[in-house]
Structure 1
Amino acid sequence: MRSVGVIVEYNPFHNGHLYHLQQSVSITGADAVVAVMSGSFLQRGEPAMFSKRARTEMALAGGCDLVIELPVAYSTQAAEWFAYGAVSILQATGIVNALCFGSEDGDLHSLRAIASCLAREPEAFRLMLREELGRGASYPSAYSHAVRQYMETIGERQAASLPLARPNNTLGLHYLLALERIGSSIEPYTIIREKAEYNQSTITDRHIASATAIRSVISGGGGLEQIAGVIPRSTADIISRELAAGREPLSWDNFYPKLLHQLLSHSAGQLRSYYEMSEGLEHRLLQALPAIEKPSFEALITAVKTRRYTRTKLQRVLLSVLLNHQREQLAPELLTSGVDYIRVLGFSAKGRKLLKQMKKTASVPVLLSAARNQGQHRYLELDVRASAVYELAYPDAGPQQLFRDYYEPPVML
């Protein structure tokens, strides 16, 4: 059975995702789809709007056959580690033949050329990157400029012209870099993102909208009828069920009191121990708090944000504080070793066959139960704790809800 891998968040699953799945199967000739999906917290340093279990259901109803969790150690990272963790999981399954990702330009040739040149990070490129960072640019901006400069230097003008500042192009490059660095035989494919930009905040098409625009409608109190045309009926049904059960859409606002407690109860020295807390950011955060008239997550971000400290960077740092992610837990040498388990979130009937095959081919243990594997895998406990913090945002969350990872089996379609 030929399988294509996709790396997703589905926050929530919409028609653009459905199109991506359909095209992925079509252009790769795949018989099944394996999705590596972020859990409770996402790549931009945000909580998912709906639980990972609800989003797993959306994924299976939309056409995925096997859904695997991307651990929080990778799911909340910048593009490089996010991509590396997800690709290493696809590689570890032993059943994935292809990887298909969306990009703004669909220029796989240029992306592969850049990845081939930068997989080992030549010294000349590292110097260009340091120079850009020294000018005060954010890391994504500095990286994009350094790539263009380096590719021009070596005569790769077509690749140099690719706009890496566009988020899906950037993620696509890092997927390819990860494939190169782990020596994977998984064949990459890309499709052009259609009709809605990654962070487009309004719905401008009858059938396709960005997840950002859809979340904006939901968080603004808009009814499902306002987004009915841009999400599958299955997604609408799952959202309706979640809302009826009192599981409201979550955002950073739901976690701000807990975050504020963490910030107020820590000294600058203690904050410095958290992952990605650097360059005196701990002092900037503590100095900003007394000046905020109406405390809120948005007010804190506004007070601290600069050209270098982008919103996404700050959200990731603050998430480390919220989840108590210490610097040594996510050291580069540990991240480079990849995930030492595969956590299955859900599967279809076809996925059950894939799961049976994967148990024979996987290079790491395949887990269907977190409870049976307590203390055996370094990042699994971080996932269980992150899920418990996520569930704490719901009113009247009891032990069964806080530790759903221990009590609930994978979703079966």
Structure 2
Amino acid sequence: MNVLGMVVEYNPFHNGHLYHLEQAGTQSNADVVVCIMSGPFLQRGEPALVPKRERAEMALSSGADLVIELPYMFACQHADIFAAGAVSICRELGITHLNFGSEHGKAAPFVQLVDFLHTHRGRFDERVRFHIQGGCSYAKANELAYRDLEAPGSLPDLSQPNNILGFHYTNAAARMYPSLHIGTIKRKNASYHDISPRDPSIASATSLRHMLERNEDISAYIPEASRRILAGLPALRYWEDYFSVLQAKMLTMPTADLASLYDMSEGLHHRMQRLMKEATGFGQWLQLVKTKRYTLTRLQRTAVHLLTGLTKEEAHAASDGQHVDHLRVLGMNARGRTYLNKAKKNISIPLYTKMTNKKTPQLAVGERADTAYALLLPPSERQKEWRRDYDLPPLLLF
């Protein structure tokens, strides 16, 4: 049986995602499609525009069979940890094929890239340290170190965001799950960073979020199920909506508590706290705080951990950055349920289809993330969302 895994955010699910899902299914001759989906907060440190239950419904309505949540401890992380969590889930579920979108579009060069960097590991690490000492962010230092090695032109370009993730998926698979077949589909008619569409039917999620924020019609770029689900939502979630909560926490928390937050490096908390008093909104605050070393993505992730109150000590106790400690089912159809019933015989960690009082460390942290995600809602709506997240069974779409 061919079981296709796809690591997704679907923020929101659009025609480009549908194209990838269909093409990946064909390429892998998939019998079952499993989406490993980020929860309330995403890899680049943003709140999901749409709650995870609705995004799971978008996926199931468009060809996915089973949706599993990528735990918060992996979802809002650097690409290497993000990818390790996803591959860990693939191994637990017996997924046979992993497919990702990329700018490069061919799978074999990603395997060659992993071999190339493994061969040049010492030199690569030395150049990463050199660029970090020069004031670069970790991500930028990796990109520059790769260029310094003068890799063959046939290998994927690691300045491209989806190629970067593709490399980390391939690298994690080589370390953790070598039998996993790697596949990729070339991104079609839209770049990850596009802020406006260049095609009449395909647009990046980034450009669609910008359009939605301007109250523009995106119906030409999303499937019917996404249109229906978006129309039924009372509100979309943007960072600006959380600014008052962040400001209150940043300005009232003791300095020592701020310093203890996960991913808060030495001195950054002083800068963030001082400049918070000068800002009137989230975007303005980030622009004031950012430097060459502290990129917007890095600062957004730190803001997420401030919102959830995650400390360094809690994070290190909950996760080794490699292995998930549970599987949480967000939704499935009949084929997905049949597969899960078969696969769970070999799963070595707790499987949650409904919450209980007995939670793994990563699930307990994830519950706090769900709680924080709902804080922008009126009190009665918050309670509904919290009950829905932890009282309802997975979405069943038959």
Q: Same fold (TM over 0.5)?
A: yes
Equivalent position SS for 1:188? strand
Q: Which consecutive residues of structure 2, in runs of 5 or more, have no partner in the other structure?
A: none
Instruction: Check if 1:124 corresponds to 2:107.
Output: no
Asked if the contact 2:71/2:362 (under 8 Å) is kept, the reply is: yes
The one-letter code matched in structure 2 to 1:135 is G
Asked if the contact 2:32/2:65 (under 8 Å) is kept, the reply is: yes
Asked if the contact 2:73/2:319 (under 8 Å) is kept, the reply is: no
Residue-by-residue CA offset, 1:174-200 (whole Å, 9 max, x unaligned): 001110121331100011101000121
Equivalent position SS for 1:196? coil
The one-letter code matched in structure 2 to 1:315 is Q
- Give the counterpart of 1:158 among 144, 153, 156: 153
Asked if the contact 1:81/1:335 (under 8 Å) is kept, the reply is: no
The one-letter code matched in structure 1 to 2:230 is I
Hey, what does 2:81 align to over in structure 1? 81
Q: Percent identity?
A: 38
Hey, what does 1:281 align to over in structure 2? 268
CA distance in 2, matches of 1:121, 1:412: 48
Instruction: Check if 1:232 corresponds to 2:223.
Output: yes
CA distance in 1, matches of 2:38, 2:318: 22
Q: CA 1:328–1:412 in structure 2 vs 1: closer, same or farther (change >3 Å)?
A: same
Residue-by-residue CA offset, 1:184-222 (whole Å, 9 max, x unaligned): 311000111010001211022111000111111111122
Asked if the contact 2:111/2:170 (under 8 Å) is kept, the reply is: yes
The one-letter code matched in structure 2 to 1:79 is A
Instruction: Check if 1:198 corresponds to 2:224.
Output: no
Instruction: Check if 1:297 corresponds to 2:296.
Output: no
The one-letter code matched in structure 1 to 2:228 is D
- Give the counterpart of 1:318 among 303, 308, 313: 303
The one-letter code matched in structure 1 to 2:395 is V
The one-letter code matched in structure 2 to 1:106 is G
Instruction: Check if 1:328 corresponds to 2:313.
Output: yes
Hey, what does 1:385 align to over in structure 2? 368
**How many residues are matched?**
396
Measure how far apart 1:337 and its partner are.
Answer: 4.6
CA distance in 1, matches of 2:64, 2:323: 24
Measure how far apart 1:164 and its partner are.
Answer: 0.6
Equivalent position SS for 1:102? strand
Q: CA 1:363–1:116 in structure 2 vs 1: closer, same or farther (change >3 Å)?
A: farther
Asked if the contact 1:119/1:180 (under 8 Å) is kept, the reply is: no
Equivalent position SS for 1:335? coil
What aligned pairs does 1:344-363 form with structure 2 within 5 A after superposition? 344-363=329-348
What aligned pairs does 1:4-403 form with structure 2 within 5 A after superposition? 4-94=4-94, 96-118=95-117, 122-150=121-149, 152=150, 156-158=151-153, 162-222=156-216, 226-242=217-233, 246=234, 248-292=235-279, 295-331=280-316, 334-370=319-355, 372=356, 374-395=357-378, 396-403=380-387
Q: When the two structures are superposed, what TM-score results if normalisation uses the length of structure 2?
A: 0.95
Asked if the contact 1:140/1:165 (under 8 Å) is kept, the reply is: no
Q: Where does structure 1 differ by over 3 angstroms across 4 or more consecutive aligned residues?
A: 117-121
Asked if the contact 2:88/2:322 (under 8 Å) is kept, the reply is: no
CA distance in 2, matches of 1:18, 1:173: 22
Asked if the contact 1:4/1:34 (under 8 Å) is kept, the reply is: yes
The one-letter code matched in structure 2 to 1:99 is L
The two structures, once aligned, show a CA RMSD in angstroms of 1.8
Asked if the contact 2:110/2:166 (under 8 Å) is kept, the reply is: yes
Q: CA 1:343–1:121 in structure 2 vs 1: closer, same or farther (change >3 Å)?
A: farther
Q: Which consecutive residues of structure 1, in runs of 5 or more, have no partner in the other structure?
A: none
Residue-by-residue CA offset, 1:274-308 (whole Å, 9 max, x unaligned): 1111141111112212333xx21111111101111
Measure how far apart 1:272 and its partner are.
Answer: 1.0
